């Protein structure tokens, strides 16, 4: 009994350290000794095995659990159903859901069905999710607020709030934080902040108190429209409500301030976030960098990159796009081209946006040969030029009145399947 407890603790430690292989080997050793881990440890191990997509191993482990008298419940099967749904294998998920009673003597509960419904909604299969929801009573299960809310959230995300409202009325569901959060997300994404403000106020009138997610959703909507005063008012209300701002909250505000030139406020938010113990991620750093780039503070852009490296945060494509754009705007076109070459040397493929910035920089100073060399380099790297890249090339020709060459290039681009926009025609 003591040995079983000690080995169960050891397996639990392996699970926490993500050394699943060692944990499984220990279970086989225990099998040989005629003992087996506790039910709680078994379920923890099963979760980890499923998380790393080792479903065959997971199924085998379930059989061993049963043979060793470790009783299964619906929660165990919900883990498998969740993984099948995440992998898009809904047929297997449904097959398991329907076979729980027949093969294992376990009746599926509302949680198992909700996991399946949520998976369908996440994948956009709302018709199927709604069908399962309405047919729950055939399985002797009553719908609850979580299962209904999953479908409501799905309809909101695909832009069908009227369907969501129908469900609320049909099930006589008292709107909760989750439902309101879904509505707010959809309304804010459409930029209808007047309606969002009304919905937000309704929550208080119903005795619902918005959480950090709700506040952050509204802040995001205001930031997208450049209404920073409203965004900061909402941020102040969030602080007064006792909610703690998340990394996402700060990142959105920093992004909004940077986008609309309020880099001083972006800096203050960044420092405030760090003082609160939050660790900035690559998006937070990029947003701050963007603010410095827009205000032509190239030295500060490089400072942010240094801070990223010191913090162990790896730059991404957006980081280099911002750096290259900032350099080109300040006139350091050759240096920006050098960054592109260095990225390629390191095995990265720069984005079309980065190439476009440097091509535009070369053309601005009349460097047609350099611009076209870079254009051909894009083709070699299989980076698809977009309409913005083509516009930059054509604009370069038009600026120096080389209209014949501009027309030849324009016709070539049309033959290649380019769909011009208004900017390009102008």
For residue 413, pLDDT over 80 is answered with no
Q: Shortest CA distance to 100 belongs to which of 89, 111, 86?
A: 111
Contact criterion met (CB below 8 Å) for 210 and 203: yes
Distance CA 416, CA 383 (A): 15
Higher-confidence residue of 190 and 393: namely: 190
Mean pLDDT of the chain: 88
Please list, residue by residue across 338-354, b when 16 or more beta carbons sit within 10 angstroms of its beta carbon and e when fewer do: ebbeebeeeeeebbbbb
pLDDT for res 426: 60
Confidence of residue 368 (pLDDT cuts 50, 70, 90): confident
Question: Residue 418's pLDDT band (boundaries 50, 70, 90)?
Answer: low
84 φ, ψ (degrees, to nearest 5):
-60, -45
Q: At what angle do helices 39-51 and 74-86 cross, to 10 degrees?
A: 10
- Residue 1 has a pLDDT of 76
* pLDDT in the model for residue 406: 63
HEC string of the chain?
CHHHHHHHHHHHHHHHCCCHHHHHHHHHHHHHCCCCCCHHHHHHHHHHHHHCCCHHHHHHHHHHHHHCCCCCCHHHHHHHHHHHHHCCCHHHHHHHHHHHHHHHCCCCCHHHHHHHHHHHHHCCCHHHHHHHHHCHHHHCCCCCHHHHHHHHHHHHHCCCHHHHHHHHHHCCCCCCHHHHHHHHHHHHHCCCHHHHHHHHHHHHHCCCCCCHHHHHHHHHHHHHCCCHHHHHHHHHHHHHCCCCCCHHHHHHHHHHHHHCCCHHHHHHHHHHHHHCCCCCCHHHHHHHHHHHHHCCCHHHHHHHHHHHHHCCCCCCHHHHHHHHHHHHHCCCHHHHHHHHHHHHHCCCCCCHHHHHHHHHHHHHCCCHHHHHHHHHHHHHCCCCCCHHHHHHHHHHHHHCCCHHHHHHHHHHHHHCCCCCCHHHHC
115 assigned to some structural domain: no
For residues 319 and 426, the model is more confident at 319
pTM higher than 0.75 = no
Q: Give the whole-angstrom CA distance, residue 221 versus residue 232.
A: 12
Per-residue confidence (pLDDT) for residue 344, from 0 to 100: 87
| Residue 203 domain flag | no
Give the per-residue pLDDT at 425: 59
Q: Does residue 381 lie in a domain region? A: yes
Most confident of the following: 308-312, 349-353, 417-421: 308-312
In a domain, 327, yes or no: no
Whether 263 has a pLDDT exceeding 90, the answer reads: yes
Question: Model confidence over 115-146: pLDDT tens digits?
Answer: 999 999 999 999 999 999 999 988 889 888 88
Own/partner pairs, 260-264, CB within 8 angstroms, 24+ separation: 260/226, 260/228, 261/291, 261/294, 261/295, 262/228, 262/291, 263/291, 263/292, 263/294, 263/295, 263/297
In a domain, 243, yes or no: no
Q: Note the pLDDT of residue 312.
A: 94
Report the pLDDT value the prediction gives residue 176, as an integer from 0 to 100. 81
The mean-pLDDT minimum among 194-208, 210-224, 339-353, 397-411 falls in: 397-411
Host domain of residue 345 = 341-426
In whole angstroms, what is the distance from residue 74 CA to residue 88 CA? 21
348, part of any domain: yes
CATH classification of the domain holding 381: 1.25.40.10
* Ranges 128-137, 174-183, 317-326: which has the least confidence: 174-183
Range of weakest confidence among 78-87, 125-134, 154-163, 238-247: 154-163
Rounded Cα–Cα distance for residues 187 and 190 (Å): 5
Please report which confidence band the pLDDT of residue 417 belongs to, taking 50, 70 and 90 as the band edges. Answer: low
**CA-closest candidate to residue 97, choices 84, 87, 49:** 84
Tell me how far apart the terminal alpha carbons of the chain are, to the nearest angstrom: 82
With a cut of 90, say whether residue 251 has pLDDT above it. yes
Predicted confidence (pLDDT) at residue 47 exceeds the cutoff of 80: yes
Reported as half-sphere exposure (CB side, CA atoms, 13 A), residue 391 has a value of: 14
Tell me the Ramachandran region of residue 226: left when phi exceeds 0, alpha when psi lies from -120 to 50, beta otherwise.
left
**How many domains would you assign to the chain?**
1
The confidence score (pLDDT) of residue 371 equals 80
CB atoms within 10 A of CB 224: 17
Residue 197 belongs to a domain = no
**pLDDT at residue 186 in the model:** 87
Query: How confident is the model at residue 334, as a pLDDT?
Result: 95
Residue 398's closest CA among 369, 358, 425, 370?
425
pLDDT average, residue stretch 150-159: 86
Q: Tell me the mean pLDDT in the region 232-248.
A: 96
Instruction: Please indicate, yes or no, if residue 354 is contained in any of the structural domains.
Output: yes
Residue 386 pLDDT > 90 = no
Confidence of residue 379 (pLDDT cuts 50, 70, 90): confident
At residue 416, does pLDDT exceed 60?
no
Most confident range, picked from 161-170, 354-363, 364-373, 382-391: 354-363
Tens digit of pLDDT for each residue in 2-16? 888 899 899 999 999
């Amino acid at each position: 009994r003591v040995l079983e407890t000690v080995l169960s603790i050891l397996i639990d430690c392996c699970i926490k350290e993500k050394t699943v292989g060692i944990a499984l080997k220990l279970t086989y050793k225990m099998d040989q000794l005629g003992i087996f881990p506790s039910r709680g440890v078994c379920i923890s191990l099963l979760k980890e095995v499923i998380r790393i997509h080792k479903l065959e191993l997971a199924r085998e482990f379930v059989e061993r659990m049963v043979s060793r008298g470790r009783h299964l419940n619906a929660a165990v099967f919900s883990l498998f159903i969740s993984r099948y749904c995440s992998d898009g294998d809904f047929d297997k998920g449904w097959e398991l859901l329907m076979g729980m009673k027949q093969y294992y003597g376990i009746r599926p509960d509302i949680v198992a069905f909700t996991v399946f419904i949520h998976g369908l909604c996440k994948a956009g299969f709302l018709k199927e999710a709604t069908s399962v929801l309405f047919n729950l009573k055939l399985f002797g299960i009553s719908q609850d607020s979580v299962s209904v809310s999953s479908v409501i959230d799905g309809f909101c995300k695909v832009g069908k709030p009227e369907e969501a409202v129908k469900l609320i009325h049909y099930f006589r569901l008292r709107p909760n934080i989750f439902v309101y959060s879904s509505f707010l997300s959809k309304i804010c994404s459409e930029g209808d902040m007047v309606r969002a403000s009304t919905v937000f106020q309704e929550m208080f009138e119903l005795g619902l108190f918005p959480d950090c997610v709700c506040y952050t959703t509204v802040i995001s909507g205001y930031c997208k429209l450049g209404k920073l005063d409203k965004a900061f008012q909402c941020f102040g209300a969030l602080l007064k409500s006792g909610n703690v701002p998340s990394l996402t909250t700060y990142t959105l505000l920093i992004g909004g301030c940077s986008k609309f030139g309020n880099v001083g406020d972006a800096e203050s938010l960044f420092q405030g976030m760090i003082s609160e113990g939050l660790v900035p991620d690559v998006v937070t750093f990029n947003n701050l960098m963007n603010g410095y780039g827009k205000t032509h503070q190239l030295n500060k852009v490089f400072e942010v990159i240094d801070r990223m490296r010191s913090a162990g945060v790896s730059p991404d494509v957006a980081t280099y796009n911002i750096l290259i754009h900032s350099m080109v705007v300040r006139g350091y076109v050759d240096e920006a081209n050098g960054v592109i070459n260095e990225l390629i040397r390191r095995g990265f493929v720069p984005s079309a946006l980065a190439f476009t910035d440097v091509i535009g920089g070369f053309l601005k100073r009349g460097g047609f040969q350099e611009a076209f060399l870079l254009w051909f380099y894009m083709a070699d790297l299989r980076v698809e030029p977009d309409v913005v890249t083509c516009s930059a090339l054509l604009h370069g020709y038009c600026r120096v009145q080389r209209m014949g060459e501009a027309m030849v290039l324009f016709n070539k681009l049309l033959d290649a399947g380019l769909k011009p926009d208004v900017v390009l025609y102008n």
